[in-house]
A and B are shown apart, each in its own frame.
Chain A
Amino acid sequence: MKRILFVLAVAGVLIVASCATAPETAEPVEKPVEKPAPPPKATVGLPEQEYAQAKELKTKVDRYGLGSYVPEEYEQAEASLADAEKAYQKDNVAAKRALDQAIRGYNAVITKGFPLLVDDRRREADAAMAQADSIKAQRSVPDAYARAKAKYDEAVAAREAGDFEKAAAAFEEARRLFQDAHMQAKAKKDRAEQSMRSTQEGLQDAEQRARAGDAELQGAQ
């Protein structure tokens, strides 16, 4: 009897075991390690936008001669641009890196150079205004002088507002207008001087004639 019970028990266990869901075997599957191959150089896009921006900044810097105010930074920016042009279309990553550097450099030149340029232009305009004042241009050519002064005031306002590009151009224009006013006033002054000189000579001549006439009349009397 014990044997029968034992067999039945084993059979029951086997039946139960056969009905259970087999557990999932989660063995780690090693995938093959794929190192991303570096993209071929030709496929990196040309840094056209950076190049255009750097060239545009350079044009601005050169137009105003800002390089002379901050020569070291200007030379560095120039060198970076030259490097970028060498690498352009050959090693565009290097080209982009150099262009970014050039852009930073030119921007620095603009930031530091423009106030210095504006100060220079202002000094030149001040000198031209002083020259015009010395000849009393405000009185002799009021319209021309007023135009120059208005432009000068405009430049000062732009400088105070931090618009250096506008200030530089306006100071330059003011200088030219003051010089023009000075020239106009000088022409009028020269003409007046010449006329006054000849009138003075005429008065002296008239006096001599009259005195000679007096002498003759008194002699006759």
Chain B
Amino acid sequence: MKRSIIFIAILGLIVFSALSAGAQSLLDNPDYKRAQELQRQSERAYAEGDYDKAFEYAEEAKRYIERSNTYVTRRVLGYRANSWLKRAISRVNYFKSVGVDPEYTGVFARAQEDLALAQRYFDDAAYEQSITYSQKVVSDLEGVSAAARK
């Protein structure tokens, strides 16, 4: 009985998460919705023969499309930056936990500095720069060996 309750609860959580993810579609942004509404207004004005209004609405819609695209780009870039930052942190934490071969101490120190920069850029929402530094950290630590276990 207990098991089935837990199973149902987990299932509910999964469904809720899926629905939440669906509701958070990037298309749900207000700029995209406004652009759609303006295009509908433009079509109505056009059908009524008010071509000046139709033109104005369509042009205004373009501005909101631009904003929507900027929003989507930023969101995607933010996720990419976050993803790369997590990988970089994970790699640095790994070497922190296992130690670094003394030969690579310098490389590891630079990787930590680069990680700090990646984090700072991320916090400033400078995602492209953050990705650049995170990728550098991951790339630099690829050739680093862990310290030999005693």
Contact = CB atoms under 8 A, between A and B. Distances in A.
Contact of B76 (A138, A193, A217): A217
Interface string B105-137: 000000000000000000000000000000000
A211 interface: yes
A218 B49 CA distance: 44
Interface string B41-62: 0110110111110110011011
Interface residues of A, number: 32
Given A192-B58, A199-B65, A206 B39 contact: no
Contacts of A203: 32, 35-36, 39, 61, 65
A41 interface: no
Contacts of B75: 213, 217
Interface stretch (B21-29, B89-97, B138-146): B21-29
A55 interface: no
Interface of B (DSSP majority class): helix
B98 to A, nearest CB: 27
Interface of B: 21, 25-27, 29, 32, 35-36, 38-39, 42-43, 45-46, 48-52, 54-55, 58-59, 61-62, 65, 68-69, 72-73, 75-76, 79-80, 83
Interface stretch (A3-11, A15-23, A68-76, A183-191): A183-191
Contacts of B80: 216
A217 B79 contact: yes
B26 A135 contact: no
A209 interface: yes
Contacts of A191: 51, 55
Given A210-B26, A210-B72, 15 more contacts: A136-B48, A139-B48, A188-B52, A196-B58, A198-B62, A199-B35, A199-B38, A202-B35, A203-B35, A206-B35, A206-B69, A210-B25, A211-B25, A214-B26, A217-B75
B76 A213 contact: yes
A216 B51 contact: no
A139 to B, nearest CB: 4
Interface string A152-195: 00000000000000000000000000000000010011011101
Nearest to A204: B65
A134 to B, nearest CB: 10
A102 B79 CA distance: 96
A129 B82 CA distance: 64
A220 to B, nearest CB: 5
A138 B50 CA distance: 10
A140 interface: yes
Interface centre among A198, A203, A220 (most CB of B within 10 A): A203
Contacts of A214: 25-27
B58 A220 contact: no
Contacts of B36: 203
Contacts of A137: 49
B72 A196 contact: no
Contacts of A206: 32, 35, 65, 68-69, 72
A221 B22 CA distance: 13
Interface in A52-91: none
Contact of B43 (A135, A185, A196, A217): A196
A213 B72 CA distance: 7
28 contacts: A136-B49, A137-B49, A139-B50, A140-B51, A140-B52, A188-B52, A188-B55, A189-B46, A192-B45, A195-B42, A196-B39, A199-B38, A200-B39, A202-B62, A203-B35, A203-B61, A206-B72, A207-B27, A210-B25, A211-B25, A213-B72, A213-B75, A213-B76, A214-B26, A214-B27, A217-B75, A220-B79, A221-B21
